[in-house]
Amino acid sequence: MFDLPNIDIPIIVFLIIYGAYMLFYVLYSLFNVYHLLKYGMYGFGLYLLVTVFTGGTIILLAGSTYLLMDYDWSHPISLDDTVKFYNEDLFPAL
């Protein structure tokens, strides 16, 4: 009933989406840090907050990069493998 052609999607597509998300996160973080430093009340708390936030961001970026380096990003995902798990009762109204 439901037949897909043999389509393979390389895993690097998900890496590109993740990279775009991380780029947006870093740009948004820089925007927030800039506004904290420009309009925040100067003091030890402000600099501590910015330091902890920046340090946490660096740890998250470095950790995710370290964990993602071991994967073979050229390996394809076949849509035929995903259709094997298709159940006729999944969408009964269709």
Q: How many domains does the chain have?
A: 1
Asked whether residue 89 is assigned to any structural domain, the reply reads no
Q: What is the DSSP letter of 76?
A: E
Question: Three-class SS of residue 8?
Answer: strand
80 close to 4: Cβ distance less than 8 angstroms: yes
Cα–Cα separations (whole angstroms), residue 7 to 4, 16, 28, 36, 83: 8, 19, 36, 48, 11
Query: Is 85 domain-assigned?
Result: no
- Lowest model confidence (mean pLDDT) among 44-48, 68-72, 89-93: 89-93
For residue 91, what are the contacts with CB-CB under 8 A and spacing of at least 6? none
Domain membership flag for residue 69: yes
Separation of alpha carbons 21 and 25, rounded Å: 6
pLDDT on residue 52: 94
- Predicted TM-score of the model (pTM): 0.69
Least confident segment among 18-22, 45-49, 54-58, 77-81: 77-81
pLDDT tens per residue, range 32-63: 999 988 888 888 988 899 899 999 999 999 99
Full residue range of the structural domain in which residue 47 is found: 8-78
The verdict on residue 88 lying in a domain is no
